[in-house]
Amino acid sequence: MKIGVTGAAGFVGTNLLTALVAEGHQITAIDRARCDRVRSDLITWVDGDVLDPESMRRALDGCELVYHLVGMITLKMQDPLAWRVNTEGVRIVAEAALAAGARRLVHLSSVHSFDQDRCGSTLSETSPRSEEPTIPVYDRSKWAGEQELRKVIAAGLDATIVNPTGIWGAADYLTPRISRINQIARDAARGRVPAFPSGSGFDFVDVRDVVAGAMLAAEKGGTGENYLLGGEYRPMIEFVRLNARVAGRRGPVIGFPIGIMNSLIPVMEPIGAMFGSDVLSRAAIGPLLASPRVDSGKARRELGYDPRPMDTSARDFVSFLVNTGQLGT
């Protein structure tokens, strides 16, 4: 099958390419960047701009299946480009897929398209969406992007949506830096996290399970349906300690209440912005304060989704860091 993948050089994209090559598919890998870590005669790299309709029509010509992975992640409250990429870009790719006669599109959205502050203790596909103007732009744009996709579904495109939680694990070759969560896990594996916030947690999912879930959605997902792809909920400090322990390092000894960081946000957020950092921001701290448990039951029942245990992911991630020379650098 000829398959188009937007954002093919990204974290999820490179892992998806590996899985698709293993199944023998012909792949049009669409990205301005390139990833030379995944090499195969089955992959054809194509430049593409998700905000350029003609570019996407050319790139997706002849594709039977499309995975739309492009998303601009930001912790800012406002970001015009991120808004366009995550909303208008979804519509443009979906329209190009429809014009190409693709039989299906799988859209990689996010758990952040759900309002984690209003969902209560458990987040499911029926939870409130990220609509309020006080919500960070990434969250709002991911929900708005889904709405844009539904307009094209109404016009005849067969598409389904997956909403992964906090994606981490191997393999991650991104430069100049690996993903945010992987950076935290790598720092822990290096023994460089002496203290960490306690009293909060998040649902973490292995990138390989996200890929498997997306491929299952391509095969079995309902048109216009959402599927939460979760993994395992862990308190953040336990997640960090796990990666340290697997690497034979000492994890955070000191845990301090997450509320302390939240109280400092009004002061620290502007300072961080001056230095180009958004780590200490409302968008970064908010999901940790909410700490909902994510219900992936729908994906398990309807798709056969079966994520691996976090301990397995941690062992594989640390092995990957060792094998690629990333643990000691």
DSSP for 131-145?
--TTS-HHHHHHHHH
Does some domain include residue 61? yes
Q: Which domain holds residue 142?
A: 2-169+203-232+293-308
Residue 285 falls within a domain, yes or no? no
How confident is the prediction for the chain on average, in pLDDT?
91
What mean pLDDT is predicted for residues 42-65? Answer: 97
CATH number at residue 64: 3.40.50.720
Average pLDDT over residues 207-222: 98
Amino acid identity at 307:
P
Structure-token pair, residue 144? 């708005």
Q: Is residue 28 part of a domain?
A: yes
Q: Does the residue 150 lie in any domain?
A: yes
* Non-local CB neighbours of 316 within 8 Å, separated by 6+ positions: 169, 170, 206
DSSP string, 68-104: E--------S--HHHHHHHTHHHHHHHHHHHHHT-SE
Other CB atoms within a 10 A radius of the CB of residue 306 amount to 12
* Coil vs helix vs strand at 233: strand
Look at 38 and 111; give whichever has higher pLDDT. Answer: 111
Mean pLDDT score, 54-75: 96
Mean pLDDT for the stretch of residues 65-77? 95
Residue 143 included in any domain: yes
With respect to residue 264, please indicate whether it lies within any of the assigned structural domains.
no
Give dist(CA 170, CA 179) in Å, integer.
11
> What is the per-residue pLDDT for 36?
82
Residue type, 292: P
The model's pTM is 0.91
pLDDT in tens, 256-299: 666 665 565 666 566 655 545 555 555 555 555 567 899 999 99
Q: What's the start-to-end Cα distance of the chain, in Å?
A: 40
Which range has the worst mean pLDDT, 46-55, 111-120, 259-268? Answer: 259-268
149 inside domain? yes
How many domains is the chain built from?
Answer: 1
Residue 108 located in a structural domain: yes
